[in-house]
Amino acid sequence: MQARPWRRESEVEDLRRFDVGIYPLPHDEWVLGKSGLKALQYMALGIPPVVEGIGVNLDIVAHGENGLVASDRDEWVERIRSLVRDPALRERLGRQARRSVEDRYSVRATAPVYRRVLEAAGS
């Protein structure tokens, strides 16, 4: 494992090196306003996420379908360990994670919503 400073120029390349994306968060009110972007970034690249079971993460990640949800230390260890030990599970969750982003968050999926909002605003 190697820590790297964030750099806009290499962010996607750096993320592509991940086998598992982890997104721990504290259980506090501030977290409830977060967007889940880190989980979505992992998922868009086909990286299976393990996310904290709080806030919007519970809307983005369906446990066992497109990633894993953990809420305490034991769950975090078990979830990460299962992905490290099972390449087929990583592959399946990563593939479904990518599909989820394409289906729910891509420009193709969201453009009709934006169009309706803009058309309604212009009326």
* Overall pTM > 0.85: yes
Is 25:55 a contact under the CB 8 Å cutoff?
A: yes
Q: Which of 97, 105, 16 is nearest to 63 (CA)?
A: 97
| Secondary structure class of 103 (helix, strand, coil) | helix
| Distances 80 to 6, 7, 49, 89 between C-alpha atoms, Å | 23, 26, 9, 11
CATH number for region 8-122:
3.40.50.2000
pLDDT by position in tens, the chain (length 123): 678 888 999 999 999 999 999 999 999 999 999 999 999 999 999 999 999 999 999 999 999 999 999 999 999 999 999 999 999 999 999 999 999 999 999 999 999 999 999 999 987
Is 96:62 a contact under the CB 8 Å cutoff?
A: no
